[in-house]
Amino acid sequence: MTIQIAFAALCDHAVVDQHGKLSAIGIWRQVMVATLPGVHPRAHLVMLTSGTRDEVGEHRMSITLRGPG
């Protein structure tokens, strides 16, 4: 099983309208905080994934945010 991630972005807000169209608003180029540990009160992770027909269904994922380097 190989699920491909074609696109991933952190953004301020993401919505899917009644026609299934995704809008990602305020895509982040950098994540910065004034002090550590830092807190962002709201963030959305938007991902476009693809796979084969036999991979349709639910899949578990783990997301880890790391610093540079």
Chain position carrying tokens 């910065």? 32
Residue 46 parent element (H or E): strand 44-50
- State the Cα–Cα distance between residues 51 and 2, nearest whole angstrom: 7
pTM exceeds 0.75: no
Local confidence pLDDT in tens for the 69 residues of the chain: 577 888 999 999 999 999 999 999 999 998 888 888 888 888 999 998 888 888 888 878 888 877 665
14 alpha carbon, distance to own chain's centre: 10
